[in-house]
Structures are given as structure tokens and as C-alpha cells.
Amino acid sequence: MKGGSITGVGNGAPSVTPFMLHNLTKSLHEGKEREESGVSGSGRRALSEGRRERERERQAGAAAAERAYELNREKERERVREQQLRFEAERERRDGVVLCKERSDGVQWKYVSKDGRSGEKPMQVMHAQQHRDPVAELVSFVKSYIVPENYPDSVAPSYTPYMQWRAVQYLFGGAMSVFTTRSLMHALGVSRGASASSAVAVNWVIKDGAGRIGKMIFARHGKKFDVDLKQLRFKGAMLMQLGAGVELATMAVPHLFLPLACAANVAKNVAAVTSSSTRAPIYKAFARRENIGDVTAKGECISNIADLMGTGLGIFISKKSPSLVATFCVLSCGYMISSFNEIKSVRLATLNRARFGVVVQSFLETGKVPSVEDANRRESVITLPWQEKPLELGIVHVVLFSC
């Protein structure tokens, strides 16, 4: 060894330096690490392959279990369907063949042929009540008395405001009837026992007879009820309040009971003729499905309900002993306002004198024909005899004078 180097033993052998020894050791170490890393990488790959294989087996098992479950469910549904079919067949053999079904207001109607074949024997109609909520049952019960079937599609849009104002009118009218009846009884002397019962009965019968005579006399104007029904209906409402006022006046002058009561009853009976005669054309305008009978029945039911409520209101007010004049003014104003709005809510598609005048005036002013809604809205329902003028159509001639 010389100068820190390693020399060979024999002559001509190469010398090995420390640097060369370091590189040789490093190469051996790196080779060993590569060999170890190769072994560990192959092990990890084998482990990953095993996991994937087990996952695939698990998924295949889950899919097979799901297919078996669906198959069992389908078999169960098929079994239930078969049972239902057997039950339906047994029921048809027992009850007959169901030809058709109809459902209305929670009730299902079935038309059944009892012999099992349709068309050979008369049908039997059966119905079954469907289970419904109690609140819905109550609402349906109330609606069956106050609104037409299939409301609101079965009536015109103006039906609802008309019936609302009509109910208010009858409410005030029912309350007024309590005070008028009490006034008549007081004038007859029933409350004081001043008159014999036979005299009271005679006066009452004469009063009613006079009203019937007035009703028959006014019936000769029946043709106008189909034409100017709005105007006549409002005049009838005014006559009704006039008659009520005269009946209340009998309390102040009981010795004039008979003439005053007769005059009041004539006015009220004429008003009743006007109301009943114009009712049919109005209800006909509301009916959309040839259901004028249904519309009329429900309208009268609402009127009776409102009249009963008004009677109760009148009894309650009378117990407070209010001023008769103030009470009459309040109830009469309420009656007339509701009557006016009731009549204005009616929409008639036909032309009468007033609506024709509105159409012609609108056409001359704007060159356009107004709609049914606009013509009825602009129609005047308050007319006085001296306001009626002949309707003149034609060319207006203008004469110019030169100076």
C-alpha cells in the first residue's frame, strides 16, 4: 500500500481506489433494494386482484338476491290479482254484471244486470256511499240546498252577486215584517183586548181580500214583465216599502185601520206580483244547462233562509223597544239599497227599450256596439213616468241660418 492506494499482489494487477470501492458498495445496495421492491410490488398487485374478485362476487350475489326478491314480489302480485278476479267473478255471479257506474256528490251508482248477462233483464240500480271527511260532508249537504248542481259552471257569472244581494234584501224584509205585523196587531186592538175576535177576523179578511183584488188588477200588465223587468222589479220594491210604511202608520191612527191596511196590502200584493213575475226571466238568464228548475229551487231556498234570519233579527231588535221611525228608516234603506244592487247585477242578453237606447247612443257616439256587460251596466233601472220619452232614430237635420 502506497500513497493511500491498494495495489495488487502480483505484478501487473490493477489497483483499487476507495472511490471505486464506494461505488461498488452503492451498486450492490441499490440492486438489493430493486429486488426487494419488485417482490413487494407483485404482492400488492396480487392483493388488489383478490379484493376486486371478492367485490365482484359480492355484487353478483346482491344482484341475484334482488332478482329473486323482484320475482317473489311479481308472483305475490299475480296471486293477489288472481284472487281479485275470482272475487269479482263470484260477486258478478251473486249480484249481476255491472253495466256502468256513475258518481255524484260522494255517492256511486251502479247499473247492474241481475242475470249475469246484459240486455236480457231489466237493470237494477244500486248505490254505495263513499267515505268522505265529515267537514266535506257538511259542506256538500249545505251546498245541495243553496247552490245549483255543478255550481258555478252550471250558472252565469252574475248569479252569485244576484243571490247575495237577494239574501240581504230578504234579511231586511224579514226584519221589517216583524214591526209591520206588530203595528197591525196593535191597531186592531189585539194587544189591549178592545175589539171582539170576530171583528178582528173580519177586518183582517177584508184587508187580505183587497190585496188579492189589487193583485188581479195589476196582472193585466204581464207583458211588460218580460221586457222591462228590471225597472218594474225596482218599482215593486218601492211599493213594498210604501206598503210597509202605511202598515206602520196604522199604529198611530188605529181608527183608520181598515182603509190603511187595505191600501198597504194592495201595494204589497202588487209588489209581490212584480217580484214573482220577473223571477222566471231572471232565473232563465242564469241557467246555462237547461237547469232553470234547479236554479229556481235553490234561489227560493236562499230567500226563505234569509227571511227566517231577518225575522229573528226583527224579534231581537223589537225587544230593545227602539224608535219605530228610526227602525223603519234603517231597514227600508237597507232593503232599497240591496234591491237596487240585486237588479243591477242581472245581465240580460236581450234588448229592451232601455238597453236598445244604450246600444244606439253608444254606436252613434263611438261607432262601436257595447258588450252585453256594458249595456246592462249602463241601463237605468230607476225610471219615472214623466221621464219616458219616445225613442227617435234617423238623420239629424241641422238648419243653418245666414245673416
Domain boundary among 313, 328, 348: 348
Q: Which of 127-141, 171-185, 283-297, 310-324 has the lowest mean pLDDT?
A: 127-141
CB-based contact 99:118 (threshold 8 Å)? yes
User: What's the rounded Cα separation, in Å, for the pair 125 and 98?
Assistant: 10
Average pLDDT over residues 139-147: 84
pLDDT at 343: 92
Q: Per-residue pLDDT for 226 more than 80?
A: no
* Dihedral of the alpha carbons of 15, 16, 18, 19, in degrees to the nearest 10: 100
Q: How confident is the model at residue 396 (pLDDT cuts 50, 70, 90)?
A: very low
Domain count for the chain: 2
pLDDT at 18: 63
Where is pLDDT greater, at 300 or 204?
300
Average pLDDT over residues 260-289: 87
pLDDT at 330: 93
User: What's the rounded Cα separation, in Å, for the pair 102 and 212?
Assistant: 48
Q: What Å distances lie between residue 165 and 296, 299, 346, 370, 376, CA to CA?
A: 16, 12, 11, 26, 17
Q: Per-residue pLDDT for 355 more than 70?
A: yes
Spatial CA neighbour of 376 closest among 360, 361, 356: 356
259 with 197, same domain: the answer is: yes
pLDDT at 334: 94
pLDDT at 333: 95
**Cross-sheet strand order for the sheet of 107-113:** 97-104, 107-113, 123-129
User: What's the rounded Cα separation, in Å, for the pair 299 and 211?
Assistant: 25
pLDDT at 197: 58
Average pLDDT over residues 234-245: 91
Question: Is residue 111 helix, strand or coil?
Answer: strand
User: What's the rounded Cα separation, in Å, for the pair 352 and 387?
Assistant: 16
Q: Is residue 102 part of a domain?
A: yes
CA 237 to chain CA centroid, nearest Å: 29
CB-based contact 292:149 (threshold 8 Å)? no
Q: Where would I find the H helices in 250-320?
A: 257-286, 292-318
pLDDT at 168: 94
Q: Is residue 372 part of a domain?
A: no
Q: Is residue 377 part of a domain?
A: no
121 with 225, same domain: the answer is: no
Q: How confident is the model at residue 92 (pLDDT cuts 50, 70, 90)?
A: low
List the domain range (segments joined by +) for residue 187: 156-348
Residue percentage of the chain with pLDDT more than 90: 18
User: What's the rounded Cα separation, in Å, for the pair 163 and 345?
Assistant: 9
171 with 124, same domain: the answer is: no
Q: Is residue 139 part of a domain?
A: no
> What CATH number corresponds to the domain at position 210?
1.20.1250
Q: Per-residue pLDDT for 61 more than 90?
A: no
Where is pLDDT greater, at 106 or 297?
297
* Dihedral sign, Cα of residue 43, residue 47, residue 52, residue 54: positive
200 with 292, same domain: the answer is: yes
195 with 335, same domain: the answer is: yes
Cis bond leading into 152, ω under 30°? Answer: yes
Average model confidence (pLDDT) across the chain = 77
Q: Is residue 88 part of a domain?
A: no
pLDDT digits (tens, 9 = 90+) for 169-197: 999 999 998 988 888 888 777 544 545 55
246 with 292, same domain: the answer is: yes
User: What's the rounded Cα separation, in Å, for the pair 61 and 78?
Assistant: 26
Q: Per-residue pLDDT for 59 more than 80?
A: yes
261 with 172, same domain: the answer is: yes
Q: Per-residue pLDDT for 397 more than 50?
A: no
pLDDT at 337: 95
pLDDT at 216: 76
CB-facing half-sphere around the CA of 97: CA atoms within 13 A: 10
Average pLDDT over residues 245-252: 88
Question: At CA 45, angle to CA 44 and CA 49, rounded to 5?
Answer: 115
